[in-house]
Structure 1
């Protein structure tokens, strides 16, 4: 790395990949190594080639194929936006197939130009690839709507085979984009369905405020699968919060310990989300702030669910969610590269270093949360697989990560 800015760009990409980890259509960052001159990113190997290459090889190609591809891409874009990330370089080359099989999943790659953003934030850095860049990017005044434009260009290509702004030089392409004329009458547009035409036109609206969001596009009739009602999954952050709220107190406290030890790069995205929800900047998220944050992202929960959610995450019982509690609740356990964090968390509870967490140790660690004998019995019922009245390291790891994890088996030593 020759310039400090290059290092910061790579670190930002690492943070973004950690934030998006776990999505089935985002390439997985396996490991990161740094030496005196380079930062090495070990990525998931995708052997299926580019999507467009597969389409050309198959020969036969239908509108349904285009709908299936664009649906998957939009699910990635919606996930990015939900997590406070703008991709800024969406193009067909950045979607690879995981393997050569006929039903291989698409994987989004190359987040080198991506950036974190807050709702309402405006960016001015001109980045991207000429054919796919949005007019407002060229005007240095844009936000997440620019990703929708890029997806509109990809859909246009998927449907008729050429870009909407097809010129010889970058300057001519940029001029055509800013002019804004898109030909929706050339062949084969007359033979394309009204739903496909409508969706593409909406995505390529010159006014960013007139474009649908990625979430809204996933409900467009062109992407409807049979008679199924459009039902986007809950915002991934809300999904994680709900999962945390349902956990037992031992697991919540363990995740809080693990989160406090995670490298900054792995939690930067979650920190940005916390800051965007903490409107008054006091370091706590209230019910009102969570309600408003969901409203801004186009999602709502019933009032009773909001209060139950906050109550289930609020470990110290102060009526709000602080940063440590938020991190523990939203931590993506797929990011754990080794069981070192689990060992440290286990030792926090195993105060006599016996290799097992006893009833007394659980009570002592969790008494601040109002744990009762009944609560400890419930934890033991869930985690104590061999029924000996205590939780060993393997059982602890299974409680945290789920059955079948590779951690905790014969790797804990006192």
Structure 2
């Protein structure tokens, strides 16, 4: 579970006899595939055949009928689907990482475990500092789920606050932790669960224990089954109203995680469980085994996730929290039509489809789906991660908007304001013109974010940004160093922003370009820029504005009008981006 080459995905694609970029069938395992029981608890998503794993070399402390955790560490990364962008260095680095994380052959598991225990050359520190009295506090009942990283059992509390209460226990064998990376993965998963537990749509974390053989992660028992099973039970798709209820819950918890500096990296229907069997049961996101802390300006490069839900930038090995938003787009597509947006017979075919194909919005039932719903999915399945909505923005999209529902604070606002306060006067003038052309839908989101900063007398300052962030802080923010972004916003300490200037600072050119009305927005903005901000500028000065060298001069010449030496419409749109995005069909002279 959690890998792009997961067993369920591999089996399902192997049994299909055709290859296309989209699927016309619901995401249900083929009829030839053996039925798989749902996992009703946190931790693992699907039971897999017991013969897929070998037994732990240690004596099992588990009751009869409960198999031990698999005693090997699977590779964290799937096979390279395409050559990486850089031909030499990334490949060698990847091979080194794969060699370090390579699992020990099954026949050598026992010997390796004995060497580690004896303090040999492969000895690793497998002490986590967790309590060691798991057996005294809980009684295991039965195994209810199994995955690559461990297996999950239901249990009963024997004493303490959880006495008599049913819980889920994720059990990870220490024999399986064959590398320092594997040990750190477990430590990080517990840190994330402990730091984030408390959100209504995130599985509750109770405690972590360890003994000589295993680590035990005690969590809330979710008895309502997986979202995937709910989709299948409904014939493969939801109505729009029912889909909204699901998507809002997913976005709410993901917005919370992203604000704390946590990227999940394995969002899929199997990793959302219903807390109870009631029809209106709330959902819980589970399985943070592949999750990681991420700094505001950091890019991750290790390829993890599940094939059908992996974002293009993950395959290119440079991604951030936007990769989770792509996965939510895939989930929403499935909810609305019952098929996957990207599909192929083979794993490499899936990756090619993700990188090159466009989702099908023409076949049934898409002609009957509302334009708002289609726009919502398209803005999440944009291959340019910069144009994708954030979770907080998605909650204010016309398809989901509800003025009675609180909008979460968005870290994107901090990033944009940070860039604005450090921008040159000429760039600020260009952005100011753009802000005057934004749509009412974008203004709705900006008003909500401005209100969350609790302006005083209509203005916000650095203190407002700091206070708003602290109000939402958890221990996860310390690990991900989210607070560091306040330090680089220091120029704001000497000024205040009213709502008009806040809109200028917080507008995103890339996300506006993703709108269907971008051409009109850009034209209106340029007309305003011509009146108020456009001025004579040399190629050298323009290159300096964009931090470009002399090699860019021939290109930048095309951005400046020969008639008056000011930016042309093409130059204005390119200057807003800071990089070359595309050539507009509209021309202004």
Find the residue that maps to 2:399 and give its secondary structure: helix
Picking from 178, 195, 199, the partner of 1:23 is 199
2:478 matched to which residue of 1?
Answer: 270
User: 1:275: Cα distance to partner?
Assistant: 5.0
Picking from 206, 219, 232, the partner of 2:407 is 232
User: 1:103: Cα distance to partner?
Assistant: 1.6
Structure 2 residue 389 is the aligned partner of structure 1 residue 181: no
Does structure 2 conserve the Cα–Cα contact (< 8 Å) formed by 1:84 and 1:269? yes
Structure 1: which 5+ residue stretches go unaligned? 245-265, 300-414
1:313-324 pair list within 5 angstroms = none
CA distance in 2, matches of 1:92, 1:132: 10
For residues 321-367 of structure 1, what are the alpha-carbon distances to aligned partners after superposition, in whole Å with 9 as ceiling and x for unaligned? Answer: xxxxxxxxxxxxxxxxxxxxxxxxxxxxxxxxxxxxxxxxxxxxxxx
User: 1:118: Cα distance to partner?
Assistant: 1.1
Structure 2 residue 341 is the aligned partner of structure 1 residue 133: no
Find the residue that maps to 2:279 and give its secondary structure: coil
Picking from 87, 99, 105, the partner of 2:282 is 105
CA distance in 1, matches of 2:198, 2:375: 32
TM-score (norm 1): 0.59
For residues 4-29 of structure 1, what are the alpha-carbon distances to aligned partners after superposition, in whole Å with 9 as ceiling and x for unaligned? Answer: 22111011011111221210000011
User: 1:239: Cα distance to partner?
Assistant: 6.1
1:161 matched to which residue of 2?
Answer: 338
1:32 matched to which residue of 2?
Answer: 208
1:6-405 pair list within 5 angstroms = 6-57=182-233, 61-225=238-402, 228=403, 231-234=406-409, 241-242=470-471, 267=475, 269-273=477-481, 276-277=484-485, 279=487, 288=493
Does structure 2 conserve the Cα–Cα contact (< 8 Å) formed by 1:55 and 1:61? yes
Note closer, same or farther for the CA distance 1:275–1:62 as it changes in structure 2 (3 Å cut). closer
For residues 128-173 of structure 1, what are the alpha-carbon distances to aligned partners after superposition, in whole Å with 9 as ceiling and x for unaligned? Answer: 0000000110011111111111100001000100111121211110
User: 1:69: Cα distance to partner?
Assistant: 0.4
Select the structure of larger CA radius of gyration.
2
Does structure 2 conserve the Cα–Cα contact (< 8 Å) formed by 1:19 and 1:270? no
For residues 82-104 of structure 1, what are the alpha-carbon distances to aligned partners after superposition, in whole Å with 9 as ceiling and x for unaligned? Answer: 00011111100000000101221
Higher helix share: 1
Aligned alpha-carbon RMSD (Å): 3.2
CA distance in 1, matches of 2:297, 2:479: 18
Does structure 2 conserve the Cα–Cα contact (< 8 Å) formed by 1:219 and 1:230? no
Structure 2: which 5+ residue stretches go unaligned? 1-173, 411-451, 453-465, 507-589
TM-score (norm 2): 0.42
2:181 matched to which residue of 1?
Answer: 5
Note closer, same or farther for the CA distance 1:24–1:231 as it changes in structure 2 (3 Å cut). closer
Aligned length: 271
Find the residue that maps to 1:221 and give its secondary structure: coil
Note closer, same or farther for the CA distance 1:162–1:187 as it changes in structure 2 (3 Å cut). same
1:346 matched to which residue of 2?
Answer: none
Note closer, same or farther for the CA distance 1:180–1:230 as it changes in structure 2 (3 Å cut). farther
Q: Pick which of 59-68 and 209-218 moved more.
A: 59-68
User: 1:58: Cα distance to partner?
Assistant: 5.1
Does structure 2 conserve the Cα–Cα contact (< 8 Å) formed by 1:156 and 1:200? yes
Does structure 2 conserve the Cα–Cα contact (< 8 Å) formed by 1:19 and 1:83? no
1:360 matched to which residue of 2?
Answer: none
2:564 matched to which residue of 1?
Answer: none
Does structure 1 conserve the Cα–Cα contact (< 8 Å) formed by 2:334 and 2:341? yes
